[in-house]
Amino acid sequence: MLNRYKGSTTLLGRAVAAVSSKPLENVGEIRREARAQLRAVEALLRKWDPIGVIPDLAEAGGPLDEYDSYAPYIVGILHRGASVTEVATHLSYCRTGAMGLPANHQADLAAASEIYEWWQSTQPLNRFTDRSINGSA
């Protein structure tokens, strides 16, 4: 079991904790899956770009990691069965609470929908979350 990751403060450690809720024999496989999920969400967050800095960073050849720190939490809530609305609520909090920007629910919902659609496309067809087993999804 990978309990050593549960309290991790690193991005990869938190992502590994999110994908390792069930014991898996191949730790390397868990890490690869966690990295792939993080990278996918990071790319979608760059499209969201509420500050509008990604084009300037890309042009200047700078790192495109402005929103990467938000990805582990998003991956984690998706693993726990978050809905589009819950992802949008988190993006809205990131925009208004963490970044101090004005609200833009429409943009946050659009980004959350794209993240959620990506997530659903990566999951096995008959994957059940705790929510669906309990009848609330």
Q: What digits encode the pLDDT tens for the residues 43-66?
A: 999 999 999 999 999 999 999 999
User: What integer pLDDT is reported at residue 5 of this predicted model?
Assistant: 45
User: Does residue 72 belong to any structural domain of this protein?
Assistant: yes
The pLDDT value recorded for residue 19 is 56
Structural domain containing residue 106 = 37-125
Number of domains in the chain: 1
The 3-state secondary structure of the chain reads: CCHHHCCCCCHHHHHHHHHCCCCCCCHHHHHHHHHHHHHHHHHHHHHHCCCCCHHHHHHHCCCCCCCHHHHHHHHHHHHCCCCHHHHHHHHHHHHHHHCCCCCCHHHHHHHHHHHHHHHHHHCCCCCCCHHHHHCCC
Split at pLDDT 50, 70, 90, the class of 120 is: very high
Q: Given pLDDT bands bounded at 50, 70 and 90, which one contains residue 18?
A: low
The C-alpha atoms of residue 16 and residue 20 are separated, in whole angstroms, by: 6
Q: Is 104 part of any domain?
A: yes
- The tokens describing 112, both together, are 């959350």
Q: How confident is the model at residue 129 (pLDDT cuts 50, 70, 90)?
A: very low
How confident is the model over 67-118, as pLDDT tens digits? 999 999 999 999 999 999 999 999 999 999 999 999 999 999 999 999 999 9
